Structure formats: structure tokens, C-alpha cells
Chain A
């Protein structure tokens, strides 16, 4: 096998970690957005404010690696035994929810108070007010910051090998050992990560454009 064939096969070998990386990132961000929005709405309505403040502060104040290893190695003692993928998704989701809750908080506070009052005067029930009036507007306004959070999660997936997960970075390390060279495998891993980030930015811009288009119809 010549060198160029070997480079191509190594590139695809590293790409074998892509589904794992994607599953972690997508699962993590979905849980993060759901939990983060929920925490922000509950806190805004004064429900469990002190407890939520404490949780958010603790999650932001401790390293992600600690949270990840805690979920994977300690939680089984409390009866929650998860495989590497689900432990990773849960860790990313919970960690991200703290940051997303803060992003949503800022978004909610920046929305004109009149939007809440207009919903109230129209006698729209609170659940529908949040679901159909407030959160859609907040989500569109904070979309660029949410995309940053997604990009951060994608890059953070590189720590998953700590608990035995085999994603892009781990694959790159394995290829490096075979090739006795770190340069090309790391460049290949960087290509995957950077490609994912560019893809997210592209999707984000499409959504923003659609939003502007819809508004100017």
C-alpha cells in the first residue's frame, strides 16, 4: 500500500469516531437546551430560585472532567450505571444546562416586559405564553450564543477518552501510535472538528437568514 492510500485510510479510520462525537454533542446540547430553558423559566417564575441558583453556580464552578468522571465512576454506587456514551451525553447535557440557563435568563430579561403583559391582557394561559410567545422569541434572539455553546460542546467531546470513549481524538491517538507520528493524525482530527464547527455555523446562518426573510415578507 502506498503512502497516499495509507493517508486516506487513516483519515477514514479517524472518521470512525465521528458518529460517537456527533452523538455526544447532539445528545448533550438537546438535553442542555431543554434543561437550561426549564431552569431559566422556573427561576424567572420564582420556583425553586435558590436551589436553581445553587445548581447553576455549582455546575459552572466545577470542572467538566470532574462531573464526567463523577457520573461514570461514582453514580453506579447510587444505582445509576451508564455506558460511556450515555454517561457522556448526560454529563454534557447537565453541564451545558447551567450555561444555557444563564443564556436563556439574559434572553428572557432582554425581552420587552410588554410581551408578557400583552399575553396577560389576551388571557393567554402561562404555559402557552412561555411555549408560543416568550421562548420562541428568546430562542431566536440567543441563537448565536447557543451556537457557541454547541461549538464548545463539540470541542469538549475530546475529553471523553478519559472514561474510555472512542471518538475522533481517541481514534487520532490510536492512528498516531500505529504511524509513530502525531502530525498527520492530529491534522486529520482537526479537519473533522473544524468541519463540524463550520457546519454548525452554516446551519446557524441559514436559520438567521430564514428568520430575517420571514420577518420581511
Chain B
């Protein structure tokens, strides 16, 4: 579904990504682990084409959507407008269909009652669900999530794990999740790539390890 070959990226002569190569198959959840500044977010941004890479190639069969760390909801639009604005622009004849679809996704994610609220009136967790819903309504094949649990406590992190897992199963969306939280990643991913200093330090299936967190920590 996504193949990446020898991607390199530098910012002002500082190498951020060096010879990154991997491919992912449909419907899996890939975790991108690594300490802050190791290039996780840059890699996601390159896949989404928010950044260009200096070298390498990328083949992608499908639509990619990005969920930002700080959600980036449009603050002057209601939750429903946040979801339907882009699809309505693409197909103006299907506004009613988009509205129904948006309401159904919101309901699925447990925030059906928030459709007419503005983002400022929502909690962090609710904003995250809206951001997720806004990505899902575009029918993405691959969903990129940048640090979805940053700043969350343990119980909310567990909520995010079950939320993303259910979205993965329900919508069949392939996910690439960047996070520095190894505990979170080992719970949610079926494959983890750990980046260190811009290169792949280890590529592992956490389900095959007895203690995946400690195993990955060795490479930190």
C-alpha cells in the first residue's frame, strides 16, 4: 500500500532522515517510535507531502490523511462544518449525504451530541475525536497520526488505544502512528519501527516479543 525507498531529508544541513526504507500492507497499524527529534513527525509530514524529501522515492496506492498533534480544527466552524466543509466543496450535490455521513461518524465516535458545538467548547479528548472524524469522512486508505497521546494521562491514553483500534477495525484504515510513548505503541501496533538519529534502529512486531517495551528501550 505504501512503499518508501531511501528517503533522506535535511533542514539547513542537519540530517533529519537518512536512508529510510520500508513498506506497509493494508489495514495494519504501524507505530513509529523514537525519542523527540528523531524524525518521526518529519517522516509523517513527508508521507503526507507537507514536506518534500531531498532523496528517495515513495509509492502510495491510496488516499492519505493526517491527524495533527494539536488537531488543527477550524475554530470558526462548528464540529459538523469542520467535517462536511471539504467534502461539500468536492461534491456540492451531495451535501445532505455528507451531513448524514458526518453525523453517523460522530455518533460512532461517541460525540454525536457535539455536532453543533464550536471546537473551543470541547475537551481535548473530544477535539481529538472530531479531528479523527474529519479525517475519516474523507475515506482515507492511510491515516497518519502524529503524537495522538501527547499530554494525556494513562486512562485517557487507554481510551485512545481502544478508539484507534476500533477505527482501524471498523473502517479498515491503515494507520501510521508516531509517538514517543512505547507503552502506548506496543499496545496498539502490529509493527513498530524505532527511529534513532534519523535512521531505522529496529523494525519489530511487538506481539512476537515477551517484553516489547524493554526490548525497544535497548535501542533508544
Contacts and interface: CB of A to CB of B under 8 A. Distances in A.
A132 interface: yes
A217 B72 contact: no
A127 B97 CA distance: 24
Interface string B103-132: 000000000000011101100000000000
Contacts of B72: 112, 114-115, 117-118
Interface stretch (B62-70, B153-161, B189-197, B204-212): B62-70
B74 A133 contact: yes
Interface string A129-165: 0001100110010000000000000000000000000
B14 interface: no
Contacts of B134: 122
Interface size on B, as a range, is: 20 to 34
Given A118-B72, A121-B48, A215 B120 contact: yes
B120 A216 contact: yes
Nearest to B140: A121
B202 interface: no
Contacts of B121: 215-217
B11 to A, nearest CB: 15
A124 interface: yes
Contacts of A123: 86, 90, 138
A124 B86 contact: yes
Interface in B149-196: none
B76 interface: yes
Given A125-B89, A215-B118, A137 B76 contact: yes
Given A214-B118, A217-B117, A117 B68 contact: yes
Contacts of A202: none
Contact of A118 (B68, B76, B120): B68
Contacts of B68: 114, 117-118
Interface in A87-127: 112, 114-115, 117-118, 120-125
B138 A122 contact: yes
B89 A114 contact: no
B60 interface: no
B37 interface: no
A121 B50 contact: yes
The interface centre, meaning the residue of A118, A132, A136, A140 with most chain B CB atoms within 10 A of its CB, is A118
Contacts of A58: none
B85 interface: yes
A128 interface: yes
B75 interface: yes
B65 A121 contact: yes
A76 B89 CA distance: 45
Interface string B28-70: 0000000000000000000010100000000000000110101
Nearest to B90: A123
Interface of B: 48, 50, 65-66, 68, 70, 72-76, 85-86, 89-90, 116-118, 120-121, 134, 138
30 contacts: A112-B70, A112-B72, A114-B70, A115-B72, A115-B74, A117-B66, A117-B68, A118-B68, A118-B72, A118-B73, A120-B50, A121-B48, A121-B50, A121-B66, A122-B138, A123-B90, A123-B138, A124-B85, A124-B86, A125-B89, A136-B76, A137-B74, A137-B76, A140-B76, A215-B75, A215-B120, A215-B121, A217-B117, A217-B118, A217-B121
